[in-house]
Structure 1
Amino acid sequence: MRGESKNKAGLNSSCDKSNQRINNTTKPALFSSQYARQNFVFVLDTNKQPVNPIPPKRARELLTKQKAAVYRMYPFTLILKHAVPNPTPKPLTIKLDPGSKFTGIAVLSGDDVIWVAELEHRGWQIKNALESRCSLRRSRRHRKTRYRQPRFDNRKRFEGWLPPSLMHRVLTIETWVKRLCRYAPITQIVMELVKFDTQALQNPEIDGVEYQQGELFGYEVREYLLEKWGRKCAYCDKEGVPLQIEHMHPRAKGGSNRVSNLTLSCERCNTKKGTKSIDEFLKKDASRLEKIKQQAKKPLKDAAAVNATRWALFRTLKDILPTTTGTGGRTKYNRVRFELPKQHWIDAACVGQVERLNLLTQQPLRIKCTGWGTRQMCGTNKYGFPIRHRERKQVHFGFRTGDIAKVVVTEGSKIGQYVGRVLCRARGSFDIVTKSGRVGDIHYRFCKTIHKKDGYSYAF
C-alpha cells in the first residue's frame, strides 16, 4: 500500500472526479511519476461477498482503524470486520485486450478506470518445452537399445482442440476473470475479438461497409503492417519516425492494394523509390531485397495466435458473464482520439464503444505466468539421459519455492528488509529473489509468507 488517493470516499461512494479526470483534451504528459495513481482496492464484506472497490487512502484508513484486514495481497483485497448495512455494489465492467504475449486487463466503473493489470503469457515457453520433449522422445525411439512393435496411431483430437501453448492463453485469462469476479461486483465483460479484419486487409477500398468509410478507415491495415514490419522502415530500418504505407509493386505499374503488396517506409525512402518496383529500387542490395520478399510472405505469428484462440476465449467468457466484443481498429481509434500512449492496459480500457475515459489509476499490476514447475522425477541432460534425482518433498519449514515472503533479517551480514520470491532448501537456508537482485542464505526464521505460490509472479 504505497501512495494515497486525493479523496476520502466511503465504501459505496465514488471519488471526486474533478481533480482526477482525464478528458478528451488531456495530453500524455500527465503520465509522469508525480501524477501516478495506484489501483483501487477490492473489498469483501463479512460474508466474503464483493462490495465497491475503494481508493488506497480509504483502504489505509480502514486498516489503521482495524475495521478491515488484508484478505489477499495480489490482487490487493480487504475483508471487513463488521457487516455493512444494505450494501449496494455498483456494477463494474472488465475489459480485455487479448494478445499472444501480453493481455491487458482493465476494470471500469462507468467511465472510470479503477484497476488495471498486464498479464504476461508463457505460450512460447510451453511450445519450446513440448518441442524439446518431442525431440528427446524421437531420439529415444530411434536408438538401437531395444525393439518395440510400432503402435497404430488411433488417438483422435476432439473438436475445437487447440495446442497447449494456445490453450494456455484461454485458460489463464479465464482464471483471472473468475478471480476478479470473486473480489469485485463485475457484471459485464468486453473483449477485443477481432485483431485484424481480414476483409479490410485484402481490400481496403471495399464499398458498402459503414466503418470502412467512416472514422476507422485504414486503421486495420496500418495496425497489421506495424506489427508485421516491426514498426520500422523496411528499406533503411529507421525507427521512431513517421512511417508511410508503401506499395512494393507500385500502383502506377499495376500493383494492387492487397496486404501482401504493402510495406512500411519512411518519407525519405518512399520519395526516393517513387514509382520504381522493389527489384529495381534494391538491385544493388540483394540481401535486403531477399529479406523483404521473405518477410512479405511470412505470416504474422502473433496475429495467428490471437486469431486461433479468439473464438475459444469468447465462448469461455460468455459462459461466465454477458460478453460484448470490439475490433482492434476501434481500440486504436479510441486510444488515438484520447491521445493516450501505447500500453496493453490502456488498449484494454479503450476496447469497444468508448465515449469518455477517466484514468483514476496509472500503476498496472504486472502478472507473469511462471507455472507450477515440472513433474519430472529426475533431471536430464541435453540428450535426455537422467543425471540427477529430484526431491519429492516440496514444502520445507512451511515454505514452498515460489511463495512471496517478507524477510526481516535482524542479525548477521545481511541485516535489512526484503520482499520477494522464496527459493527453498531442505536445510532451511533460503534464497530471496527481489526486484534489485538475489539475496542468498537467509534462514527461514526471518521469513514470513505474504502470498502463497499460485503459478504467477507479481510486480508494479
Structure 2
Amino acid sequence: MYVVYVLDKEGNPLMPTKRFGHVRKLMNAGLAKPVSTKPFVIRLLYESTKYTQPLYGGIDPGRTNIGAAVVNQKGDVVYAANIVSRNQQIPKLMANRAAHRRASRRGERLRRKRRAKKCGTTTEFPDGRKLPGYKDGVLALKDIINTESKFGRRKRPAGWITPTARQCVQTHISVIKQICQILPVNDWTLEYNKFAFIVLEHGKIYGLDFQNGRLKGYDSAENYVFALQDGYCALCDDPIDHYHHIVPRHLGGSNTPENLVGLCEDCHSELHTNKKLLDRIGLKKKYAGTAIANTAMPFIYNEIEDMFGKEHTHICTGRDTFAFRKEQDVAKDHFVDAVCIAAIGGKTGLSGNIFKPFEIRQFRNHDRQIVKAQHERTYKVGKKTIAKNRKPRFEQPKKTPALSDWYETLCNTVGMKEARKQLSQVKVVKSTRQYNNLSRKSPGTVFYRNNIRYVMTGNITNGQYFRAYGQGEKNFPRKECILGSRQSLVYVS
C-alpha cells in the first residue's frame, strides 16, 4: 500500500500517513500543499507536533543497480526504490575529457612552435631533453623550452579514489539524503560483503589500502602484464614496446590486466591493420570489469556514519540478507534486499505486503559541452566522396580512405601522371562543427503536458520537441509543455 509523505511547516520530515481522506481534507481547506507528486509529498501550513517514531533505512549497494528501503518498528515498508545509476558512463566521459585536453595541449604546443620558428627562438637538444623528475629517460625534442614539468610534483591526497568509485560513493549518499528529506530515518544499515566486514573491524581504511588483489607488489597494470609475459611480446620473442588495449578505451575498454597485452613495435603496428591477428593464434583474454562497489564500500560506510553516528549505523552481510529473505519467504530483488537489510538493522520482521517500488534513474547533472559533433574534412569528385582526412585517423574505416591512401592507390593503378590529373579535380569540403545550445534543457528535466508528468530523456529539432522516458519515439512539442524541476536522481515511475 502506498503512503503520503508529510513535511512540517519548516520543511522537516514527519511520519508518513495512509489517511488519504484526511490529506485530501487538509489540502481542500488550505492547511497543506503538495510538494511533489512522485513521490507524493505534502507540506503542512500550520504548526504541528514534531513527534516521530523510529524508522530504519537500508541500502543494497551496487555499481549500476541500487536498492533502498525504509521500514518502521512494526516491519511495515514505508519506502522502497530501485535506483539505476550512470556509473558505467564515467570511464568513457573521463577518457573523452582526457582526449580533449591532450588535443588542446597539442594545439598549444604547435602554436608555440610556429611562433618560436617565426621569431627565431627555437632551441636544439643534441643529447635529448631530460625533464626534472623523469628518471633515466629522454623525452622527444619539442624545439622550444617549455616551463618545468609538473608531473614529478603531483601527488594524490590521502583518501583519493578513482573518479568512477567516487561517483559511486556520491550516488549512494545522494540516495540516502534524498530519502531523509521526506522521512525522519533514525538508523541506517549497509550490506557489507564478508571480506570488507572483517577489514572494517580494524578501523577506517581508504581507497587502494582496501584492496589486496593480484596487483599487490606492482606499480601498475602494465608492470603486472610485463611480469606475466616475462617481458616479451605475446606474438613473437621481441621485447615489449607497447601495451595494447584489446577492447579500445573509446569503446569502453578498461585499464585492467584482462584488457591489456604486451606487444613489440612491429606486432603492435600489424595489429592495428589486421584486428584478427590475436584471434588467429588463439590469444584471447577475458574482459572483466573492476569491482567498483567494493572499492567504494568503506567510503560509503564512513559517509553514513558521519550522517547517523556510529551507534545508529549498522552492517549486515550478504549471507545475513539471504537468510532473512528466505525466512520471510520473499522474492529476490534489489529493493527487496534493501527491505530485508533495513529490517535486519531495525531488528524487526516484515509485516504485510511489500508495495511496488519507486523506479529512480540517474541523469547527468553537469553537461557543459559546447561542441556537439565535429565532421571530418571530406574530399569529393563531383558529388561522390572519395576520401576523408588528409592522412588516416586512428581506426579510420577502410571503405572511406584518407586522401594520402587514395592517391597512393591511384598512382599504383593508373600511374602518377593520371593520378595527379585526377587529384586536381578533387574538391575539399572543410571540417565543420555542430554546437550545443547552451540554454538547452538537459535529460532528467521533469515536464508536464495535459497535467501528466513526464521525465525528459532528450530533445530534438533544436529543442523544439522533447522525448520522454517510457514513451519511445513519441515527440512532445515544447510549447505545449510546462517545465518542472531538474535533479540528478529522478523518479520515473
- Compute the TM-score of the two structures, normalised by the length of structure 2: 0.56
Partners of 1:428 and 1:120 lie apart in 2 by: 26
Q: Which residue in 1 is equivalent to 2:149?
A: 151
Relative distance call for 1:422 and 1:65 in structure 2 (3 A) is farther
> Aligned equivalents of 1:49 and 1:441: distance in 2?
36
8 Å CA contact 1:101, 1:123 repeated in 2: yes
- Give the whole-Å Cα distance in 2 for the aligned partners of 1:168 and 1:431: 28
The CA deviation at 1:199 is: 8.3
Q: Which residue among 291, 298, 306 is the counterpart of 1:319?
A: 306
- Give 3-state SS (helix, strand or coil) of 1:452's partner: strand
Residue 171 of structure 1 aligns to a residue whose secondary structure is helix
> Where in structure 1 are there 5+ consecutive unaligned residues?
1-36, 201-286, 410-416
Which of 20, 23, 27 is the aligned partner of 1:57?
20
1:94 pairs with one of 57, 61, 64: 57
Partner of 2:70 in structure 1? 107
Alignment of 1:335-374 (within 5 A): 335-351=325-341, 352=344, 354-374=347-367
**In structure 1, what residue type is equivalent to 2:297?**
R
1:360 Cα deviation from its structure 2 partner: 4.9
CA apart distance, 1:174: 1.5
Name 2:91's counterpart in structure 1: 127
Aligned runs of 1:449-460 on 2, under 5 Å?
449=483, 451-460=484-493
Pairing partner for 1:388 from 434, 437, 455: 434
The alpha-carbon deviation at position 309 of structure 1 amounts to: 0.7
Equivalents in 2 of 1:156, 1:90: separation in Å?
A: 48
Corresponding residue number in structure 2 for 1:244: none
Q: 1:91 Cα deviation (Å)?
A: 2.1
CA distance in 2: counterparts of 1:66 and 1:186, whole angstroms: 28
Shift of 1:310: 0.8
Counterpart of 1:178 in structure 2: which amino acid? K
From 424, 431, 449, the counterpart of 1:407: 449
Q: Distance in 2 between matches of 1:333 and 1:364?
A: 22
Aligned residues between the structures: 316
Whole-angstrom CA distance in 2 between matches of 1:167 and 1:50: 28
C-alpha deviations, 1:148-199, integer Å up to 9, x for none? 6483302211111111111112112222322322222111111112265698
What code does the residue aligned with 2:61 have? P
Secondary structure at the aligned position of 2:468 is classed as strand
Q: Does the 8 Å contact 1:116/1:365 carry over to 2?
A: yes
Q: Which residue of 1 aligns with 2:252?
A: none
Cα distance in 2 for residues equivalent to 1:314 and 1:388: 44
Q: 2:32 touches 2:42 (CA, 8 Å); kept in 1? A: yes
Q: Specify the SS of the correspondent of 1:314.
A: helix
Helix, strand or coil at the partner of 1:457? strand
Q: Secondary structure at the match of 2:486?
A: coil
| Residue number in structure 2 paired with 1:211 | none
Structure 1 pair 169–62 and aligned structure 2 pair: CA distance change class (3 A): farther
**How far apart are 1:130 and its partner, in Å?**
1.2
Are 2:81 and 1:117 equivalent residues in the alignment?
yes
Partner of 1:226: none
Aligned-residue offset at 1:313: 0.7
SS of residue matched to 2:192 = strand
Going from structure 1 to structure 2, the CA distance change for 1:373 and 1:426 (only over 3 Å counts) comes to farther
The aligned runs of 1:220-239 (5 Å cut-off) are none
Residue 309 of structure 1: which of 296, 309, 332 is its match? 296
Deviation of 1:439 after TM superposition, in Å, equals 3.3
CA distance in 2, matches of 1:355, 1:389: 56
Decide which of 6, 18, 40 is 1:76's aligned counterpart.
40
Contact 2:363–2:443 (8 Å) recurs in 1: no
Q: Give the C-alpha shift of residue 345 in structure 1.
A: 0.8
The residue aligned with 2:370 is 377
The gaps in structure 2 that reach 5 residues or longer are 114-141, 200-278, 376-392, 395-430
Task: Name which structure has the greater RCO, CA cutoff 8 Å, separation 6+.
Answer: 1
Among all aligned residue pairs of Structure 1 and Structure 2, give the percentage whose two residues are the same amino acid.
22
Q: What residue number does 1:429 align with? A: 464
CA displacement at 1:388 relative to structure 2: 1.8
What secondary structure, in the 3-state scheme, does the structure 2 residue paired with 1:115 have?
strand
- CA deviation vs aligned residue, 1:23-59 (integer Å, no higher than 9, x gap): xxxxxxxxxxxxxx33x22101222222111127354
Aligned to 1:271: none
SS at match of 1:388: strand
- Mapped to 1, the partners of 2:195 and 2:361 lie a distance apart of 26
* Structure 2 counterpart of 1:97, one-letter code: D
State the Cα deviation string for residues 343-400 of structure 1 (Å, max 9, x = none). 11111111245551125542111111111242222224487987122333347xxxx7
AA partner of residue 43 (structure 2): I
Find the aligned partners of 2:19 and 2:464 in 1 and give their Cα distance.
36
Q: Structure 1 residues 128, 192: closer, same or farther in 2, change over 3 A?
A: same
Q: Secondary structure at the match of 1:358?
A: coil
Give the direction of change, closer, same or farther, for the CA distance of 1:428–1:136 in structure 2 (3 Å limit): closer
Q: Equivalents in 2 of 1:116, 1:173: separation in Å?
A: 14
Q: Give CA deviations for 1:250-293 in whole Å, capped at 9, x if unaligned.
A: xxxxxxxxxxxxxxxxxxxxxxxxxxxxxxxxxxxxx9xx99x9
Give 1:458 deviation, angstroms.
2.3
CA distance in 2, matches of 1:54, 1:391: 44
1:419 is the counterpart of 2:417: no
1:145 positional shift: 4.3
**1:106: Cα distance to partner?**
0.4
Distance 1:341 1:113, change over 3 A: same
Cα separation, partners in 2 of 1:312 and 1:433, compared to 1, 3 Å: same
User: TM-score, normalized by length of structure 1?
Assistant: 0.60
More strand as a share of residues: 1
Q: State the AA in 2 paired with 1:362.
A: F
Does the Cα contact within 8 Å between 2:64 and 2:85 map onto a contact in 1? yes
